[in-house]
Every structure is written in structure tokens, then in C-alpha cells.
Structure 1
Amino acid sequence: MITGIPLSVTYRRIATFNKVNENHLGNSLINLASGKKVRQPQDGVSDFFRAQRLSRDSNDYSRIKNDIARASAMMDVVVDTGEMVYNGIQRMKQLVDLYYDESTTEDEKRAMQSEFSSLVKQVSYTVNNTYYDGKQLVSDSRDNPLDSVNLDPRDIDKKMVISFGAEQVANVDGLILGSGYNEDIAAVNAELEKAGSYLASANAYSFGLSAQYAIAAKKADISNAVKDSITGTDSGKEIVRATNYSIQHQSSLAMLVQANLVRSSVVRLF
């Protein structure tokens, strides 16, 4: 009661109670507006720092996801290039078999030699002139990898290094048709093996990057979900809490008004 203790003490207590409720009400309204219940250390030290760590994890894996996406875009070009080279040499092999077939006429042989020479030029051009971000894609890149992608933000040594060896780089410049079946087929098969190895590695890198992208995306999503479960506001509970604080705030304001009236009456008496 206001009259049970000195008026000044009662007034200060009501004012303090009102201020506390006003702060609680403000925080609840901010929580509802922002959707966050942990925004600073005083909202819960352990939850705040755990949420900060999860936010860093999410950002780190999002960065890794973007790096993987960039490397995947390059590998799409690498795979396309590998397929063009392999398919071109595969056609050369078919031409060798057809050229030395007993049923092939001289006119057909001349046409095959022309196509073979054209394929040599096309494949050679593709090998020597396909670049991505300034790097030649079909080349010996073991000492200077095409790309190196970090896969774990907490382990810088865990990465995917994309490179190809000299034994995977086809060189068709010396291939000709008409030197003899055994010689021609052996030369073509040697380059076809290199091209096949390059293409197989390119596909393996591409599939690996796709898998790592999915892993990074999942880890980023999980970190975000856990962080939101820690910091996110339960709207229903927060509305009830804000309503209670609002009622208490209004009650304390009414009590302050009553206390002011009493104080005014006492002053007038004297």
C-alpha cells in the first residue's frame, strides 16, 4: 500500500518497478519485430557466443559453397573440352578401321583422309586454344593446378586440387592416315587413351565437386537452423510475455499517478 511506508520510498519503488517493466516490454517488442531473442551477450552469454560461432560456420560454408560453384563452372568447360577431344579422336579411330577395310574404294579413302586431316586440325586447335581464366585447360597442370578448392573452413589442408598430367594430354599433330593399319591404329589408340584418361578425370572432379557442394550447403543450412533455434523468437510466447509486461507497465503508471496525487495533496496540506 502507498500509505504503509514513507511516500518517497513508495514512489521510488513504483518508479523502479515501472522502469523495469518498461525495459522488459521494450525488449519483447524488439524481439517480436526482429524475430530474435538473443541479439547481444546480456540476452544470454552462452547462447549469444554459440550463435556467433554458428553464424561464422554458416558464413564459412557459404563461402566454400561459392568457391565450389566457381570451380564447378570451370569443370563444365573442362568436361565439354574433354568430350570434344575424345570424340574427335574416337572418330579418327573409326576412320582408320574404315580406311583399311577391303571394301573401301579409292574415292572413299581420299574422302576419309580429308576428314581425318580436318579432325586433326580441330582437335589440335581445341587442345591448344581452350582457356579458362587465363589457364590452358588441356595441359600438364600438375605444377600449376587449374584450381584448388578448400573444403573445410577448419582445415586448410583439406582441399580438392584440380590438375592433369602430361600423360593425359592428347597430341594429334603427328597423326596421319595411310602409313599402314598397324602404325596408324597404334598412334591413334595412344592419343585416344590419353584423351580418355583426361575425360575420366574431368568427370570425376566434376562429380566430386557436386558432392562437396551438397555437403557444404547442408552444413551451412544446419548451422543456420541451429542458430535460429537458439536466437529465434517464439512469437506466441513473446506476445503473451509482451502483453503481461504491458499490463504491469500500465498498472505501475497508474500507481505513479496515484502517488503523485497523494504527494500533491500532502504538499497542499502544508
Structure 2
Amino acid sequence: MLNSINTNPGALIALQNLNATNTELNTAQSRINTGKKVANAKDNGAIWSMAKMQSASSSSLNAVKDSLQRGQSTIDVALAAGDTITDLLMKMKEKALAASDTSLNTASFNALKSDFESLRKQITKAVDNAKFNGVGLVDKSAKALVFLANADGGSFTVNAQTLSLEGLNLTTALASFSTVAEAGSMIGKMTAALLTATNKLSALGTASTGLDTHLTFIGKLQDSLDAGVGNLVDADLAKESAKLQSLQTKQQLGVQALSIANQSPQSILSLFKG
């Protein structure tokens, strides 16, 4: 090997190795500090881009969950109103049946008639108040509600189920009686109204179950996306910690090797001693 004071190949090689070790050490320290092996596009452009897109999809699902949960609340309010309405219909049927008794005196008949009409009015009140955030599914003006189903803007539709007097065919003109005979005929109408109400509530219940199932799926999908992103960009801290220890030792050895290599030119001085 050429003995020169201008060029020290050994020191150059030692310096190159030390610089490489320092670069690896900085990378390991960055991964430990951030918890990520791909923290930005510079680390790995393809993986970073993929992770960003999946993170965006996961984040978008928060809006989907909010929409579906709003749908749940709207249906729950409608079902609560439906329970009240079916109870009122049963009481109305009971009043009509009682009023059909030919042995009643006029005062008793009129009292039953008044109770029947009062219960009918309560149905309207229940329907009008069955709204969540100003939106209802059972009033006469209710329309199908469309909620978000996925991050691409897909929809989940819940059909309205009108439980108003019009929807139950119990308007004032159709659901009233003035005679015992009319009270008797009202029993069949109340039975039909109950059947209609329960069928509509059953449809709402089915929609609610579907909404719950889809919401559960969205939650699992979001968790899977988050886990997938983590697999792409998260650092294995146990592995990085072990690597850090190894690189720190390698760095110390590199410094010593460079120091030894830098001392080599001094051996040339011995050639000039007499």
C-alpha cells in the first residue's frame, strides 16, 4: 500500500463506514421517535401513498357512522311512537267494544265516545312529536330517508311508515261513532288499524336491524383499514430498539477505526529519524 501523507485510504474507508452507520442510526432513531417506519413520502413513496389513501377511506367512514347513527336514532323515535300508537289503538278498540253494549245508558255511552275521541287525538300528538333532529318517519308528510352507506357515497334507504290517522284510515270522518251500532262497526276498523300499525312497525324494525348490522360492519371495516395502514407504516419498536443498540456499538467501533486509520501517516515520521 502506498505510504502517503496526502491520501489515507484506510481513513477514507473508515469514514465511509462510519457515515453509513450514522445514517442507519438516524433512521432507527427517527422510527423510534415517530413510531413509524414510513413517516413521509421520502421514506417510501409507494407505501406512503397507499397508506394515505387507506387512511382517507377510514377517516371518511366517520361520516358514514354519524349518518347511520342518526338513522338509528330516527328509527328508534319512530318505534317508540309506534308502541304508544298501538297502545292507543287497543284502548280505542276497547272503548268501541264497550260502547257497543246495548245495555248502556246515554251518559255512559257518551263518556265512552268522548274517551274514544280523546284517544284518537293522542295518536296525532304522538305522530307529530315523533321526530329526531326535525325528521320523522311516521307522520303523514314523512318521506323515505337516505343515509350514507360507504365512503364512496353509497346510500342506505329507510322507507317511511305513516302512522297518522290518515295512514291508519282513522280520520275523524271514518273513526267516530254516534250510536251503539256504529260503535259495533268500529271494532272491525280498529282491528284493521292495529294490523296496519303493527305491519308498519315490523317494517321499521326490520330496517332498524339492517341499519344496526351495517353500522357494525362499518365499524369493523374501519378497524381493518386502520390495522392495514398500521401494517404498512408502523415501525416494529422491539426490532428497532435492538437495532439501535447494535448501531450505537457499531458507531463507537467506527470512531475508533477512524482514529486508528488517522494515526497511520504518523508512522512515516519514523523513516526520517536518524
TM range (shorter): 0.7 to 0.9
Distance 1:136 1:225, change over 3 A: closer
TM-score, normalized by length of structure 1? 0.80
Distance 2:202 2:3 in 1: 91
The residue identity in structure 2 corresponding to 1:248 is K
1:15-53 superposed Cα distances (whole Å, 9 cap, x missing partner): 332222222112212222332222234434443333233
Please show how residues 17-166 of structure 1 align to structure 2 within 5 Å: 17-101=17-101, 109-140=109-140, 144-145=143-144, 147-154=145-152, 156=153, 158-164=154-160
Larger radius of gyration, structure 1 or 2?
2
Distance 1:67 1:5 in 2: 76
Please show how residues 251-262 of structure 1 align to structure 2 within 5 Å: 251-260=253-262
Distance 1:52 1:264, change over 3 A: farther
Q: CA deviation at 1:3?
A: 6.9
Paired residue secondary structure (2:157): strand
- Does structure 1 residue 183 correspond to structure 2 residue 222? no
Distance 2:116 2:245 in 1: 84
Question: Does the CA-based 8 Å contact 2:47-2:233 persist in structure 1?
Answer: yes
1:195-249 superposed Cα distances (whole Å, 9 cap, x missing partner): 3233222212211110010110111111122222232222222222111211122
The residue identity in structure 2 corresponding to 1:219 is L
Question: Does the CA-based 8 Å contact 2:31-2:235 persist in structure 1?
Answer: yes
Distance 2:52 2:256 in 1: 41
Superposition RMSD on alpha carbons, in Å?
A: 3.5
Distance 1:244 1:127, change over 3 A: same
Distance 1:77 1:92 in 2: 23
TM-score, normalized by length of structure 2? 0.79
The percentage of counterpart residues that share the same residue type is 21
Question: Does the CA-based 8 Å contact 2:55-2:225 persist in structure 1?
Answer: yes
Question: Does the CA-based 8 Å contact 2:93-2:191 persist in structure 1?
Answer: yes
Distance 1:80 1:167 in 2: 12
Distance 2:109 2:45 in 1: 82
Residue of structure 2 in register with 1:248 after alignment: 250
1:133-168 superposed Cα distances (whole Å, 9 cap, x missing partner): 2334423557x43x31121224x3x42122326687
Distance 1:139 1:263, change over 3 A: farther
- Structure 2 regions of 5+ residues with no counterpart? none
